[in-house]
Structure 1
Amino acid sequence: MLLNAEDFRREARRLLPRFVFDYVDGAADDGCCLRRNARDLDAVTLTPRVLRDTSRIDTAVEVFGTKWSSPYGIAPTGLNGLVRPRGDVMLARAAARAGIPFALSTASNMRLEDVRAAAPESIQWMQLYVMHKEMAARIVQRAQRAGYQALVLTVDVPVSGNRELDVRNGFRVPFKPTAKLGWDLVTHPRWSMRAAISGPPDFANLVADGEDGGSASMQAALLARAMDRTLVWETLAWLREFWRGPLLLKGLLHADDARLAIDHGVDGLIVSNHGGRQLDAAPSAISALPSVVAAVAGRVPVFMDSGVRRGTHVAKAISLGATAVLLGRPLLYGLAARGEAGVDAVLKLFADEFMRTMALLGASSIADLRGDSLACEGGPTDAGVASRVST
């Protein structure tokens, strides 16, 4: 019985070849940042108020003029086709059914136009890695034409994090067959059969119109997250030449960077440490959130990802000032375990947990979680976030 995100994680581990599961689940170096995300989220407590009318609970939020049914969406994650063929479309359609946004990664295994067309009524954002400015400009222009509502520039990957599990597993593009990989595939026949039918995934958005495929070097660069390291704050003006909608930065942890983002006209921030996959010494996202929220002072929405595994975690982030939360690995566990139905199931778990948490806190709306009646006591410590939130 799959009752929570951890149950889906165990099922994904059982069904996926080790090199695929380790790619999804793994982190940088010793995994300290990954564990810090979980520890610090667990350390936040929420103090309920009682005898409040919660017979009707409204979980909706409005972001950039668009209503979300709940204060969370699906974060951009790459190589979803490795988890399940057409995984990006499955995630986008599940998000549409749930009334929440889906962010498509540059590292998608499906063309951005095809994902957009598969869920035309959904809220879709486009995430951008800038490996090469000409290619980035082309992707942004395509996303604009396809009707993506926001652009998310990931800024915490000047180089790839040291993901030792991927190195040990020989995970690279192009794939090179080994005896170890062969045994991995033989012992996971359902995944291998689907992969044999669909063919090896590639990075479809590196392919220009009319081309047959992206170069192996460009695909390897994207897998290694080999970004253009000349990008600076002034580069954002260049992006504005191609993009007319909301522009968000993903991967901020420092309050001073939040202020600089505001100074350079950014429309939203995503507090994130890349799920612990980049700098192992980085602080947890939840511990960095309050200082970023304070620096922004309500001028733009602030989102958070990294480590969120429960509806209660969403409530904690909202109580500490987040506009909404983006969910990553839990949806990929669902995708691996049950395909599109698994994504639906994980989203339902979050919806049920979040609604139950609001009722137990005596909160009938999102405003009750983040309003003036909320008092945060304490803050990040060496032992984690010791914040105590009272409604």
Structure 2
Amino acid sequence: MTTPDSFGRRIQSSIYENGIFGIRPAVPTAPTVLERKALDHLSADARAYVETGAGSGATMAANRAAFDRWRIVPRLLRDVSDRDTSIELFGRRHPSPFLTCPIGVLELADTGADLAVARAARQAGTPMIISSQASYPMEQIAGELADHERWFQLYWSNEDAVVESFVHRAEQCGCSAIVVTLDTMVLSWRTGDLDRAYLPFARAMGIAQYTSDPEFQRIVQERLDQGEIPDVAAKPTPAAVKSLFTMARRHPGEFRENLTSPLPKASVRTFLEVFSRTTLTWQDLAWLRDRTSLPILVKGLQSAQDAALALQHGVDGIIVSNHGGRQLDGALGSLDALPPIVAEVGGRVPVLFDSGVRCASDAFKALALGADAVCLGRPFVYGLALAGEQGVREVLEHFRAELDLTMAVAGVTAIDQITRDTLVEAPTG
């Protein structure tokens, strides 16, 4: 009797078969090797931006330590020949429980940036969460996704007209949910970037959603017309000239015209001033609800009390996340925050998870502790840095394949069988 050929076995077999002809994966399958090689491949500025956490990096370490506190207990002599890694979110079926995290400034890893990720996500069957800080406008990214699932991640600007415009554009380009990131009302103290005095946004990188937005463009022009943004020439140092060239290349329009136009520098300054709103409260979600019929998820929750408030204010989903350790130094690991939030939510809305996930066994543990889906972040950026679109596709496929095989060895055949009973707390001492 033949048994179903699972996704995991197909990917695994194809790698071994390609090896006969001397062909190896474009990206390493071992998480630590993938990370090391990708970081070595990046420029010094890009590496600092990608690998840096907040402050001392304690929260990044806590994310990893939280996974190490749990162990998977395999159950044997079960028929695991037919396995199903699919899940359902908001009425749509997906082949795996993975989505791509919204990650900004992907041009630091590869010039294809979000467009390459979109093509790879489509090929891998992984929903993509488009970032507010993307390197390309959402309309271009949506074009690469075709009819594939996409959500839009919203940083809530202090200019409501920009927020409303972003949401409208997201609806128009086929996004099926809005993800509001709540934990980045200010940028944290990121020592790797600070030591290099490097912020990509200040060089017009990662602000394509803004420079392509009609409301943002209107605000920039109004400020220029009113003299609120004086065109002060930078000192003619090599670094200043390089920054000017970077702004001119990334701003819409002709490069030569941008070199002499005040618009690129004005756009950067305006972005830095309107990026976030520190006065945002739970009550403001009603304003957003009045402006979209799409499901609204909130991202960045670490507290069960905040989960309760989110439900009171009508959110449709929660993403448990500490921004990959990039926002609050000394915070608890995101996986430690997951079970209390799941208990508070009680199945009323989907609970997704990110932060610190480096391999499929990490995802397995998050699913066992109550997550309905898992968002992948740095690993696909590493794939992008090493091999562009192919690298991202392989990372996404490898996660799904490894999860499928992990399920087989653990003795489960469907995502809903990955429960708290499949884990034990690791021995201490």
The CA deviation at 1:86 is 2.7
Report the TM-score when normalising by structure 1. 0.86
From 202, 205, 214, the equivalent of 1:209 is 214
Rounded to whole Å, the distance in 1 between the matches of 2:65 and 2:162 is: 39
Letter in 1 for 2:154: L
Rounded to whole Å, the distance in 2 between the matches of 1:375 and 1:91 is: 33
1:53-64 alignment runs, 5 A limit: 53-64=79-90
Rounded to whole Å, the distance in 1 between the matches of 2:383 and 2:334 is: 23
1:43 is matched with which residue? 69
Whether 1:155 and 2:195 are equivalent positions in the alignment is no
**Contact between 1:4 and 1:349, CA under 8 Å: does it hold in 2?**
no
1:129 is matched with which residue? 155
- What SS does the corresponding residue of 1:234 show, helix, strand or coil? helix
Rounded to whole Å, the distance in 2 between the matches of 1:331 and 1:3 is: 12
Rounded to whole Å, the distance in 2 between the matches of 1:202 and 1:71 is: 27
Structure 1 unaligned segments of length 5 or more: list them: 177-199, 379-384
Higher helix share: 2
The CA deviation at 1:376 is 5.7
**Contact between 2:202 and 2:269, CA under 8 Å: does it hold in 1?**
no
Structure 2 unaligned segments of length 5 or more: list them: 1-23, 218-251, 253-263
Structure 1 residues 302 and 369, CA, compared in 2 at 3 Å: closer, same or farther? same
**Contact between 1:93 and 1:122, CA under 8 Å: does it hold in 2?**
no
1:23 is matched with which residue? 49
The CA deviation at 1:174 is 6.5
1:1-391 alignment runs, 5 A limit: 2-132=28-158, 133-173=160-200, 201-207=205-211, 208-209=213-214, 211=217, 212=252, 215-221=267-273, 227-370=276-419, 374=421
Rounded to whole Å, the distance in 2 between the matches of 1:110 and 1:90 is: 11
Letter in 2 for 1:215: S
2:21 is matched with which residue? none
Rounded to whole Å, the distance in 1 between the matches of 2:132 and 2:388 is: 21
The CA deviation at 1:365 is 0.6
Letter in 1 for 2:186: V
2:9 is matched with which residue? none
- What SS does the corresponding residue of 2:156 show, helix, strand or coil? coil
- What SS does the corresponding residue of 2:331 show, helix, strand or coil? coil
Structure 1 residues 32 and 252, CA, compared in 2 at 3 Å: closer, same or farther? same
Letter in 1 for 2:406: T
- What SS does the corresponding residue of 1:134 show, helix, strand or coil? helix
Residues 345-377 of structure 1, C-alpha deviations (whole Å, 9 max, x = no match): 211221222111101110011111138xx3665
Residues 183-209 of structure 1, C-alpha deviations (whole Å, 9 max, x = no match): xxxxxxxxxxxxxxxxx7351111223
**Contact between 2:365 and 2:423, CA under 8 Å: does it hold in 1?**
no
**Contact between 2:73 and 2:424, CA under 8 Å: does it hold in 1?**
no
Structure 1 residues 221 and 76, CA, compared in 2 at 3 Å: closer, same or farther? farther
Q: CA RMSD in A?
A: 2.0
The CA deviation at 1:334 is 0.4
Residues 98-133 of structure 1, C-alpha deviations (whole Å, 9 max, x = no match): 112110110011101110111112110100001222
The CA deviation at 1:288 is 0.5
- What SS does the corresponding residue of 1:244 show, helix, strand or coil? coil
The CA deviation at 1:170 is 1.8
Q: How many residues align?
A: 353
- What SS does the corresponding residue of 1:135 show, helix, strand or coil? helix
Aligned-residue sequence identity (percent) comes to: 37
Residues 213-254 of structure 1, C-alpha deviations (whole Å, 9 max, x = no match): 6711133358xxx52011101100101122111100000000
Letter in 1 for 2:281: V
**Contact between 2:201 and 2:207, CA under 8 Å: does it hold in 1?**
no
Letter in 2 for 1:149: S
1:194 is matched with which residue? none
**Contact between 1:173 and 1:216, CA under 8 Å: does it hold in 2?**
no
Letter in 2 for 1:39: A
Structure 1 residues 67 and 386, CA, compared in 2 at 3 Å: closer, same or farther? farther
**Contact between 1:173 and 1:220, CA under 8 Å: does it hold in 2?**
no
**Contact between 1:125 and 1:151, CA under 8 Å: does it hold in 2?**
yes
